[in-house]
Chain A
Amino acid sequence: MIRNRRTTWFDVINLVIITCCVLLCLAPFVHIVSVSFSSGSAITAGKVFLFPIQFTTEAYSSVFNDKSMLRALGFTILLTVGFTLLAMLMTTLAAFPLSNGKLKGRKAVMLFIVFTMFFSGGLIPEYLLIKSLGLLDKMSVLILPGLISPFSMIIMVTFLRTTIPETLHEAAEIDGCTHFGKLFRIVLPLSLPVIATLALFYAVGRWNGFRDALFYVHDQNLFPLQLKLYQMVVNNMISDITAIEGAEMKKTISESLKAASIMFATVPILIVYPWLQRYFVSGMTLGSVKE
């Protein structure tokens, strides 16, 4: 938006501010990567800042040799894929009928759903329900309770209402297409952008989700990566901090191993980040279009 202007002191300061922001944003990651590749003695001596010192991949080989870590990774991938597919199916089953203006009772169902965004029973009633359904310590407890996000559903309803022309619906009906046929043959192929966006919303949410596993899962075999990481890294660090200040604590896990485990859980997000970024930003603007 700024055209044909000379570069002024303003631009220079602005450039410096943005550069500092970007560096501050990245520095913690760079530091963790460096720590994960450094030797223990260099780390405790405070030599490792933004570059690995005494390069070693030892920490990574112990992460990859840790069967429980690999199992948590495999389980989390399976969980994320399964959850995302089911969540998208359910969200579509909700959004498609609700985007049809002629459907009677549409408003009532919408209200029924939107109400849950503003008022919920809270942790304990949910816990007791899940317990009475026999879902504690089951993989399904990490899937079923979050299947439809009303927020995502509203985005999809808005998308379907605004981008798929009414005439297309009418043409399909004249050709004798059923609603199911319409959904699968016409609407879904035209909705790929919103499907990609929402699928990524769900997948990232599930990948990063930690709270439900903490509440409902106690079986180590069903620990998603985040909970595993929490137990291994964060908990361990908290006990270090709460140990008497200043006293030299005995470390159960080396710093580089913690850093390598953190990277182990971060890299999958980094791999899909280019797509995430693109679709999430477009999702943000989709969501801002009001019905």
Chain B
Amino acid sequence: MRAIHYLQRYWQLYIMLLPVIAYFFVFKYMPLYGVTIAFKEYNPFKGVNASEWIGLDVFRNIFAMEDFYTALRNTFLLNGLDFVFGFPAPIFLAICLNELKFASFKRLSQTLLYLPHFISWVIIGGIMYQLFATNYGIINLLLAKIGIAKIPFLSDSSYWLVTYTSVGIWQSIGWGSIIYLAAMTGINKELYDAADVDGASRLRRIWHITIPGIRSTIIVLMILKIGDMVDIGFDRPYIIGNVMVRDVSDVLSTFIYRVGLQNSQYSTATAVGLFQAVVGLAFVLTANYVSKKTTDESII
């Protein structure tokens, strides 16, 4: 009786959820079934279902592939560089912006600094090639004018890593600072007044008040970032990367695309994807656990 009464009141909400559940079922859960081809010899004529099971052979194969290890290493390498250089950059910027005296200049700078976040990687890639290209890029043309030899920013592996990291900072520094600026507004103003009374210098105020005030935000974001180490976007390494620097630019996402869609080795690419998803999930869960233990904040 109660159930009928409940349904009379709430059936419409379930109707609304129907298309939603259907969407997630079809586009997010059905591919999970397709993952089985990581354990099969995929035959396009037979389809996912009828292809033959071959156990862990595909995984044995990929663990014997040199390219797989390169892609795995590069994923950690590029994410690691982003972590070491790209992670502190917005914190530094947020502190500078927070110390800025002129409110209108602060707002203007913020507005301008957020812009690259909204630009697609295709456009950033296009702009970047015009800036950094060895033969006609403006930077090398300017260097040539002051007598410095051309620098292969895009075609030499070590320089490419520098380019990749800097472009990443350029794109995300402004946007990344928002969350720290928000955290800074939560700092008790009286602390600063007390520091003034004690005659603390600006740097000491930053060190003893601002940074401790955003420490928990920093720690949570840092843990999140470490949890995402195995996960790497496709657009940035794919667009900025090129054949000349493949030894450092080929990451798991681009490797899967190349092997799977371009070379049609479906089972191999699926297995690499599954490996990445499982390791990625383990990283995220561990990060979440650590976050809970250390800061009492959990993401999941």
Main SS at interface, chain B: helix
Provide the residues of chain B in CB contact with A229, threshold 8 Å.
Answer: 122-123, 126
Q: Quick check: is B91 within 8 A (CB to CB) of the other chain? A: no
- Which residues of the partner chain A approach B31 to less than 8 Å between Cβ atoms? 120-122, 125-126, 128-129
The 8 A CB mask of B164-188 against A (1 = contact, 0 = none) is 0000001001100011001000000
Contact B118 A118 (CB under 8 A): no
Contact B123 A31 (CB under 8 A): no
In the complex, which residues 229-265 of chain A have their Cβ closer than 8 Å to any Cβ of chain B?
A: 229-230, 233-234, 237-238, 240-242, 245-246, 248-249, 255, 258-259, 261-262, 265
Q: When chains A and B are docked, how far (Å) is the Cα of A275 from the Cα of B126?
A: 25
Is A142 among interface residues, defined by CB-CB distance under 8 A? Answer: no
Stretch at the interface among A14-22, A52-60, A66-74, A188-196: A14-22
Task: Let me know if A85 is at the binding interface, CB within 8 A.
Answer: no
A124 touches B256 (CB 8 A): yes
Known: A22-B112, A241-B134. A129 touches B24 (CB 8 A): no
Are A210 and B122 also in contact (CB < 8 A) when A102-B10, A120-B277, A124-B34 are?
A: yes
In which size bucket is the chain A interface?
A: 35 or more
B222 adjacent to chain A (CB < 8 Å): no
A48 to B266, CA, bound (A): 47
* Chain B residues whose CB sits within 8 angstroms of the CB of A10 once the complex forms: 99, 202-203
> How many B residues are at the interface, by size bracket?
35 or more
Q: Tell me how far the C-beta of A272 lies from the nearest C-beta in chain B, rounded to whole angstroms.
A: 9
- B100 with A15: CB separation less than 8 A: yes
A261 contacts across to B, CB distance below 8 A: 126
> CB-CB < 8 A to B116: which residues of A?
25
Residues in A whose Cβ lies below 8 Å from that of B174? 25
* Residues of chain B within 8 A of A26, CB atoms compared: 112, 115
Most chain B C-beta atoms within 10 Å of own C-beta, residue among A21, A90, A132? A21
A29 interfacial contact with B, CB 8 Å: yes
Closest partner residue, chain B, to A92 (CB atom) = B16
CB interface residues, A 110-124, toward B, < 8 Å: 112-114, 116, 118-124
Q: Is the CB of B13 within 8 A of A103?
A: yes
Q: Please report which residues of chain B, range 119-134, place their CB below 8 angstroms from some CB of chain A when the two chains form the complex.
A: 119-123, 125-131, 133-134
B97 close to chain A: CB less than 8 A: yes
Given contacts A21-B93, A94-B17, A240-B135, contact A233 B270 (CB under 8 A): no
Residues of B close to A174: CB separation below 8 A:
none
Whether A1 lies near B98 (C-beta < 8 A) is yes
Is A97 within 8 A of B266, CB to CB? Answer: no
B244 neighbours in A (Cβ, 8 Å)? 241-242
CB closest residue in chain B, given A146: B27
Residues of chain B in range 261-300 having any CB-CB distance to chain A below 8 Å: 261, 266, 269-270, 273-274, 276-277, 281, 284, 300
Q: Which A residues lie within 8 Å of B27 (CB)?
A: 126, 129, 144-145, 147
A residues in contact with B97, CB < 8 Å: 18
- Cβ contacts under 8 Å, A44 to chain B: 136
Report the separation of the CA atoms of residues A98 and B42 in the bound assembly, to the nearest whole angstrom: 39
Binary contact readout A124-149 vs B (1 if CB under 8 angstroms, 0 otherwise): 11111100110000000000110110
Residues of chain B within 8 A of A240, CB atoms compared: 129, 133, 135-136
Contacts of A25 in B (CB 8 A): 112-113, 115-116, 170, 174
How far does the alpha carbon of A113 sit from the alpha carbon of B100 in the complex, in Å?
42
Docked CA distance A28–B6 (Å): 60
For A91, the closest partner residue in chain B by CB is: B20
Report the Cα distance A125→B25, complex, angstroms.
Answer: 14
Q: Is A8 an interface residue (CB 8 A)?
A: yes
Which residues from chain A contact B35 at a C-beta distance below 8 Å?
121-122, 125
User: Chain B: which residue is nearest A17 at the CB level?
Assistant: B96
Measured between alpha carbons, how far is A208 from B171 in the docked complex, in Å? 14
Q: Are B20 and A35 in contact (CB under 8 A)?
A: no
Given A7-B101, A210-B122, A241-B242; A123-B273 close (CB under 8 Å): yes
Q: What would 16 A/B residue contacts be, using CB atoms closer than 8 Å?
A: A18-B97, A25-B115, A97-B14, A114-B300, A121-B30, A126-B31, A128-B48, A144-B23, A179-B10, A179-B16, A208-B120, A230-B239, A234-B125, A240-B129, A242-B155, A273-B115
